[in-house]
A and B are shown apart, each in its own frame.
Chain A
Amino acid sequence: MDAIWLQTLLLADSTVRLATPLVFCALAGLLSERAGVVNIALEGKMLGGAFAAAAAAAVTGSAWIGLLAACTFACALALLHGFATITHRGEQVVSGVAINIVVAGLGPTLADAWFGQAGRIPLPGSDARFAPIELPGAGGAPAIPVLGPLYAEVVSGHNLLVYLAVAAVPTVAWILAKTRFGLRLRAVGESPEAVDTAGIGVEALRYAALLSAGLLCGLAGAYLSIAQNAGFIRDMTAGKGFLALAALIFGKWRPVPAVLACLLFAFADAAQVRLQGTPLPFVGTVPTQAIQALPYLLTLLLLAGFVGRAVAPRALGRPYVKDR
């Protein structure tokens, strides 16, 4: 009994770890897409954040400076995205693809040139990473039956960025629902002309949304390179940005369902690692690749309307052009 409980807890623990970058990115996608800007560039912005975090942390030896660098660089990419899609009304998907590809090439190029490590940046010391945080009482908690191990294994012992992700969920949901910025952001994704004629600048608002999204992507990237792992490697996001996008759509562009979808996808990923080769009851051995493909298949099914209907923000993907 205890062994199964412990296994479950370990599974939950790794789900949380794997879900963290997805949650940051899904929330980032939420902010920009609810404001009407398709954000296919989550992947690139997160990768850029991971690169900048590792580079800065490797040079300065400070995780905090790494974090700052990640957010700054991701925001710079967001500004570029905005410059193309908002200021110049460029095609949003194309500019997202461009950012993804530029960053995918730029990271390894610069890593090579600056650190001479064939596309990698290793971190020198432990100060350059965010260490796990032992919450108060976690040491003695396992003595308490059932809930004790839960507290010690799943709740405690994560790094700062994990807790930040947990905090980000209600924060973003609250901002969207209860604040002026949130109201305007939701409005500009549905009807930019209504926002414009209400005396609010559409461009500034969309830039603000993209920048907040950039900030969250930076956090996701920093988590990958200076918290979860120790350093930057080529293509380390490995499609997590797209997975987050899938979660966002699966959550129908709403914060809580999107985060639940992130947890579901992360759980599938965590289970897949643990289940490799182990036969499951009823279905037998499931190929890892089937579980890897599961989130994408689920999203396809959702998009096809076989599991509910996802209605995108009305102005999503449309640059704002005043009509005559």
Chain B
Amino acid sequence: MGCASRLPAWVELALLPALNLAIAALIAGLVVVLIGEDPLEAVGLLVYGAFGYGEAIGYTLFYTTNFLFTGLAVALAFHAGHFNIGGEGQAYLGGLGATLVALHWGQLPSPISIPLAVAGAALFGGAWAFVPGWLYARRGSHVVITTIMMNFVAAALMTYLVVNVLIKPGQQIPETDIFAPTVWVPPLAPLSASLGLDLGRAPVNHSLFLALVCCLAFWAFVWRSRFGYELRVVGKSEAAAIYAGIAPGRVTIVAMTLSGALAGLLAVNEILGSQHRLVLGFTGGYGFVGIAVALMGRNHPVGIVLAALLFGALYQGGSELAFDMPEISRDMVVVIQGLVILFAGALEHLFRAPLENLVSRLQVAR
């Protein structure tokens, strides 16, 4: 997005996001003041709530894992020149894929059932994003609009399936039966306890490693692989891609499908790692947070890791904060998330343009 940067890398990758974050934090602080609380105290509580003790860290890392998946999903589509707002729906369908595998083959030994369930999540998430990809490539429909529509269709479809088809027999609550424990992604608590950190009952699990592997693979794929090169060419200029003998339609379809698969992996963390059953609305807006994470992380895995950690901390610290300061609700975190998208994404030129002017003036002076 935007034009080729004329800024030094440290400004582009550190100063600019920091400035964006600072102003978002400043405005959030104003909202806290408006509510009649002390923002500094709130920050203190938030940081303690996110990192202050083992269980807090565990929850923070659990949310971080979610945001890594959805952030990577948005970023991958960005590199192919598309804005995938459908992470929410793709993750939702990923949950269906994981659930179907878990309910049918969950009793198989873990080394078989877990990879199968992970594949199910990726497959269904990918399939749900394949549709907008295909519609764009073959029918020219705008991805932003189609992914929004697909979110609503996903919500309706999943409600129908959970309420009418997959519901645990003889039960009123709209959720499936508990999966066989063999298909649960094991929690990190035992591992961390052996390292001396007590994560308490935090649901953080081995999906975190899967997410980090995805980050690495993302980097290698986008910047080092031939297909990643084609994907970036398509994302920057379809005409140039056609000129170079690259089929933009095929690349878009693959990119969207992979993006959806990444979003679908959210279900591995939430469903296989924590809930151990399919519940309605388990995606909880994480798909949309992915947009903020990708924008803030400049669509690069390193930035995405940092941004995901930041939002993980906000989510966990925010819940604790809401508990300690009843005047502040958890929705405050949503406000901050929106402000980050506003300043890191929509208003990125606010600081960029003056900084660029400054840099070019310094260069001229030299």
Q: Do A and B bind each other?
A: yes
Binding site for B on A (CB under 8 A): 38, 40, 80, 83-85, 88-91, 93-95, 97-110, 112-113, 118-119, 234, 239, 242, 245-246, 249, 287, 289-290, 292-293, 296-297, 299-300, 303-305, 312
Q: Are A98 and B31 within 8 A (Cβ)? A: no
Select which of B152, B327, B338 is within 8 A of A99 by beta carbon. B338
Select which of A90, A105, A293, A312 is within 8 A of B157 by beta carbon. A293
Chain B hits for A119, CB < 8 A = 329, 331
* Most interface-central of A83, A85, A299, A303 (chain B CB within 10 A): A303
Select which of A94, A101, A242 is within 8 A of B152 by beta carbon. A242
Given the contacts A105-B337, A110-B35, A112-B331, A292 and B156 also touching, CB distance less than 8 Å: yes
**Is B53 positioned at the interface, with any CB of A under 8 Å from its CB?**
no
**Is B75 positioned at the interface, with any CB of A under 8 Å from its CB?**
no
Given the contacts A289-B156, A293-B156, A305-B140, A98 and B345 also touching, CB distance less than 8 Å: yes
Given the contacts A84-B347, A93-B144, A109-B31, A246 and B342 also touching, CB distance less than 8 Å: no
Which chain B residue lies CB-closest to A105? Answer: B334
Taking chain A's interface residues, is the majority helix, strand, or loop, or is none over half, making it mixed? helix
Chain B hits for A102, CB < 8 A = 334-335, 338-339, 342
Q: Are B331 and A109 within 8 A (Cβ)? A: yes
A99 to B346, CA, bound (A): 10
Q: What is the distance, in angstroms, from B247's C-beta to the closest C-beta of chain A? A: 19
Q: Are B341 and A293 within 8 A (Cβ)? A: no
Given the contacts A88-B349, A94-B346, A290-B160, A109 and B35 also touching, CB distance less than 8 Å: yes
Q: Are A113 and B35 within 8 A (Cβ)? A: yes
Chain B hits for A292, CB < 8 A = 152, 156
Contacts A292-B156, A300-B141 known; 14 new A-B pairs at CB < 8 A: A84-B346, A90-B348, A90-B349, A94-B345, A94-B346, A104-B334, A105-B331, A239-B152, A289-B157, A292-B152, A299-B145, A303-B145, A305-B139, A305-B140
Chain B hits for A80, CB < 8 A = 342
**Is B111 positioned at the interface, with any CB of A under 8 Å from its CB?**
no
Select which of B144, B146, B342 is within 8 A of A95 by beta carbon. B342
Q: Are A100 and B145 within 8 A (Cβ)? A: no
Q: What is the distance, in angstroms, from A288's C-beta to the closest C-beta of chain B? A: 8
Chain B hits for A94, CB < 8 A = 83, 291, 295, 341, 345-346
Chain B hits for A239, CB < 8 A = 152
**Is B1 positioned at the interface, with any CB of A under 8 Å from its CB?**
yes
Chain B hits for A246, CB < 8 A = 145, 149
Q: Are B145 and A245 within 8 A (Cβ)? A: yes
B34-55 interface code vs A (CB 8 A; 1 in, 0 out): 1110000000000000000000
Binding site for A on B (CB under 8 A): 1, 31, 34-36, 83, 85, 135, 139-142, 144-146, 148-150, 152-153, 156-157, 159-160, 164, 288, 291-292, 295, 327-329, 331-339, 341-342, 345-350, 353
A299 to B335, CA, bound (A): 30
CB-CB nearest 4 A-B residue pairs? A105-B334, A95-B346, A102-B338, A101-B338
A108 to B339, CA, bound (A): 16
Chain A hits for B288, CB < 8 A = 97, 101
Chain B hits for A297, CB < 8 A = 149, 153
A33 to B153, CA, bound (A): 24
Which chain B residue lies CB-closest to A92? Answer: B346
Q: Are A97 and B334 within 8 A (Cβ)? A: no
Select which of B148, B339, B346, B353 is within 8 A of A91 by beta carbon. B346
Q: Are B291 and A109 within 8 A (Cβ)? A: no
Q: Are B328 and A113 within 8 A (Cβ)? A: yes
Between A and B, 28 residue pairs with Cβ closer than 8 Å are A91-B83, A93-B83, A93-B144, A94-B291, A94-B295, A95-B342, A95-B347, A97-B85, A99-B342, A101-B288, A102-B338, A105-B332, A105-B333, A105-B334, A105-B337, A112-B329, A113-B34, A113-B35, A113-B327, A239-B152, A289-B159, A290-B156, A293-B156, A296-B156, A303-B142, A303-B145, A304-B135, A305-B141
Q: Are A287 and B160 within 8 A (Cβ)? A: yes
Q: Are A95 and B345 within 8 A (Cβ)? A: yes
Q: Are A109 and B144 within 8 A (Cβ)? A: no
Chain B hits for A305, CB < 8 A = 139-141
Q: What is the distance, in angstroms, from A164's C-beta to the closest C-beta of chain B? A: 27
A110 to B345, CA, bound (A): 25
Chain A hits for B135, CB < 8 A = 300, 303-304
Q: Are A293 and B333 within 8 A (Cβ)? A: no
Q: What is the distance, in angstroms, from A194's C-beta to the closest C-beta of chain B? A: 24
